[in-house]
Structure 1
Amino acid sequence: MAEQGTESTGRARQPRTRTRASHSLDSVLAGAVEILDESGVQGLTIRALAARLGGGVASVYWYVSGRDELLDLAADSVLGGIFEQIADVGSDDAIDDLRTIAIAMFDTIVDRPWLGAYVLRDTELQIHSLQLYERIGEEVMRLGLTPRQVFHATSAVVGFVIGTAADLGQEPPAVVVSGEVTREQYLAKITGEWRALDATAYPFIHHIVDEFERHSDREQFAAGLDLLLAGLRLKAEAGSAEPLG
């Protein structure tokens, strides 16, 4: 298995100025994640982070070259926590292990609307992202598929997790954020509009509207993941003679 340590992300930094650094990389990234969780990407600036940490901007630049690198490393520091959740994963069933890892990854991303865009964006910096990709790929390798099939299957799992988490984890509509209406009231409004549509023009919408009204985002993700993994299991059982996809 790939190394699963939770050591701080990022390569060793050389001082970028003559100003003495008054923080640590861990504290810089923790402060950045706090701002991102509170205010999103727009709220994270070097100046805002320095103010939160109680130092000058030079003490932040000691560790990162700029805002883009800070975002990549902050995202990677969050992903590092996944390895604690999956430390005991290692059964005889690669598909079951893939499911556990995928759900841990989803749960980590979905509650942070800012995070999905920065996962696996720069693997030179993001060692935890790279290790997570490696870990998922190693589980797929256990299925006895060809290198191309392993690549495509791993990409499908990772893409489904990140894409679905980013989609479901979007900021709620402004009226929900403001408290003007609850999530349930907002969904009721949407389903009411859907039920009023012409059933002949929108047969699918009418077919699933009751399910949509009472659905759980996490259950929706898990159901889609299970469909994807069931197909992968069938492919592995059939052998690698046929193309995947």
Structure 2
Amino acid sequence: MEAVLTEAVGLLDEAGEPALTFRALAARLGGGVASIYWYVQSKDELLDRAADHVMATVLADTERFVTDPDPIDAIRGIGVTLYDAAVDRPWLGNYFMRNTGQQPNSLRLYERIGGQVLRLELTPRQSFHAASAVVGFVVGLAADMGQEPPAEVLSGEVDRDEFMNRIVQQWRDLDPADYPFLHTIIDEFVVHQDTDQFRAGFDLLLDGLRRQAAGRSS
């Protein structure tokens, strides 16, 4: 099973979900298609288990944050680690925690985040919303940041910088009276790094969580 999942993740990382077929997987493993059915019953199950296989590494890499004195810092460490694992895998967000019966590592990671939320002594509803917001922001933004470039960039017709410069120029040509926000942030957009954008947004979310916890204890 370990070899099956390792090769499945490899196919997904290389070319996305369309590349993961039982025939392609069997070829990488050097066996027949029928042998795959010894381990999984369908492609959906294979995708769920492949996502959970990735989560096993994330779970191991976040173990060090469990005993952090500050639960918010612990959540930050767990979230950044999850983002780093997911941003280069646009397929992962679609299958993370989709079927927890087949994804024990994903469920344990969710529990790990929830364990830090419990330390904030929020209400059950606040705790649920907090953990959901963290997972939704991290996985959702990673999927957004990791999506494939436009077809013209993939084909080599233009490179990424040329494509982005074209978008920026389109924005600059817009009337500032109609698009004041775009004209305010455009110079920042030109030089921004996706990772910095993620961390800034995550810090905003965690700052709100810290304030909510402080309000409960005051």
Normalising by the smaller structure, the TM-score range is: over 0.9
Identity of aligned residues (%): 57
Whether 1:167 aligns to 2:144 is yes
Per-residue deviation at 1:85?
1.7
Give the root-mean-square deviation of aligned CA atoms.
1.2
Whether 1:52 aligns to 2:31 is no
Per-residue deviation at 1:240?
6.8
Q: Distance in 1 between matches of 2:14 and 2:186?
A: 33
Q: How many residues align?
A: 217
Whether 1:68 aligns to 2:44 is yes
Report if the CA contact (8 A) 2:59-2:108 is conserved: no
Q: Which runs of 5+ in 1 are unaligned?
A: 1-24
Show CA shifts across 1:196-244 (max 9, x none). Answer: 0011111111111111111111100000000000000011011079xxx
**Pairing partner for 1:183 from 146, 160, 173:** 160
**Pairing partner for 2:72 from 84, 88, 95:** 95
**Pairing partner for 2:2 from 26, 31, 48:** 26
Per-residue deviation at 1:84?
2.5
Q: Read off the aligned partner of 2:123 and give its amino acid letter.
A: T
Partner of 1:80: 56
Partner of 2:98: 121
Whether 1:41 aligns to 2:42 is no
Per-residue deviation at 1:47?
1.2
Per-residue deviation at 1:70?
0.3
TM-score (norm 1): 0.86
Report if the CA contact (8 A) 1:145-1:240 is conserved: no
Partner of 1:111: 88
Show CA shifts across 1:18-64 (max 9, x none). Answer: xxxxxxx0000011111111111011111111111111111100000
Moved over 3 A (4+): none
**Pairing partner for 1:220 from 184, 197, 202:** 197
**Pairing partner for 1:156 from 110, 128, 133:** 133
Q: Secondary structure at the match of 2:212?
A: helix
Query: Which has a greater percent of helix?
Result: 2
Report if the CA contact (8 A) 1:46-1:66 is conserved: no
Report if the CA contact (8 A) 1:36-1:43 is conserved: yes
